[in-house]
């Protein structure tokens, strides 16, 4: 086998191991600090129009987070359902994903120093989470608010790091790849949603519980059930 072929195969093998696992640099900013006390018979229904792959995973995380406050959780909740709950939480997630111009430099001349592997490509996402809290009995609105969730992301896999074989030629592959890789990599989305599902879901659930409690709604429900 020719030496050039051997070198090529060695480089391809090396590059195939070059990846940067998903890293959310600022995930620590979205951690639930404590649980509010709520009666176990307090029922919550979570309603959403989000579908799979379009923010639904995060809504599921919110529902799972709320389930830690009560033993009576209904998800997904249909607003026309005959099953009544004390609180209806309408959750709408509007995701937006972006690449970065830094990815050009990371790929070229960054390929010379294997930057895509040890740093990862730079992405960011914003989840604007619109929440409406509704009294499940009389349909009155308790609170409406929006929680913007900003994620600072690093990630690289073989779909992009293969351009590091530019080591074998003059760098044209990395140069062209760098231009293309400015864009967001959609392969990151399912990885990201799984990563943030529980911590961010708990964080949003904590805010919902806080607002419901501070508004006196939990006590209102308790009084209603006691016939007061």
pLDDT in tens, 46-66: 999 998 778 999 999 999 999
Q: What percent of the chain has pLDDT over 90?
A: 53
pLDDT in tens, 6-52: 444 444 444 444 576 899 999 999 999 877 778 888 999 999 999 87
The CATH architecture of the domain made up of 18-225 is: 2-Layer Sandwich (3.30)
pLDDT in tens, 130-168: 999 999 999 999 999 999 999 999 988 755 444 444 444
Mean pLDDT, to the nearest integer, of 74-84? 88
pLDDT for 32: 92
The model's confidence at residue 122, banded by pLDDT at 50, 70 and 90, is: confident
Q: Is the pLDDT of residue 178 over 80?
A: no
pTM equals 0.81
pLDDT for 101: 60
The model's confidence at residue 113, banded by pLDDT at 50, 70 and 90, is: very low
Least confident interval from 144-148, 149-153, 192-196, 220-224:
220-224
Q: What percent of the chain has pLDDT over 70?
A: 73
- Highest mean pLDDT of the ranges 159-168, 170-179, 202-211: 202-211
Nearest partner of 88 among 138, 37, 147, 38, judged by Cα: 138
Mean pLDDT of the chain: 81
Token reading at 76: 């997904």
Residue 82 CB neighbours (<10 A): 5
Per-domain residue ranges of the chain: 18-225
């Amino acid at each position: 086998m020719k030496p050039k072929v051997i070198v090529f195969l060695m480089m391809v093998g090396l590059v195939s191991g070059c990846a940067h696992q998903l890293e959310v640099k600022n995930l620590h900013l979205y951690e639930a600090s404590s649980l509010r006390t709520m009666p176990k018979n307090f029922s919550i229904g979570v309603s959403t129009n989000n579908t799979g792959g379009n923010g639904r995973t995060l809504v599921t995380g919110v529902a799972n987070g709320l389930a830690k406050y009560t033993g009576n959780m209904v998800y997904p909740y249909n607003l026309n359902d005959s099953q009544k709950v004390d609180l209806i939480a309408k959750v709408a997630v509007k995701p937006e994903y972006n690449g970065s111009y830094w990815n050009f430099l990371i790929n070229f001349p960054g390929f010379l120093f294997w930057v895509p592997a040890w740093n990862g490509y730079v992405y960011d996402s914003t989840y604007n989470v619109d929440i409406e809290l509704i009294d499940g009995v009389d349909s009155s609105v308790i609170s409406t608010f929006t929680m913007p969730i900003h994620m600072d992301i690093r990630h690289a896999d073989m779909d992009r790091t293969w351009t590091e074989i530019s080591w074998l030629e003059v760098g044209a592959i990395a140069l062209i790849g760098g231009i293309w890789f400015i864009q967001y990599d959609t392969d990151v989305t399912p990885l990201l949603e799984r990563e943030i599902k529980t911590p961010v879901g708990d964080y949003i659930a904590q805010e919902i519980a806080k607002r419901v409690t501070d508004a006196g709604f939990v006590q209102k429900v308790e009084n209603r059930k006691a016939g007061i």
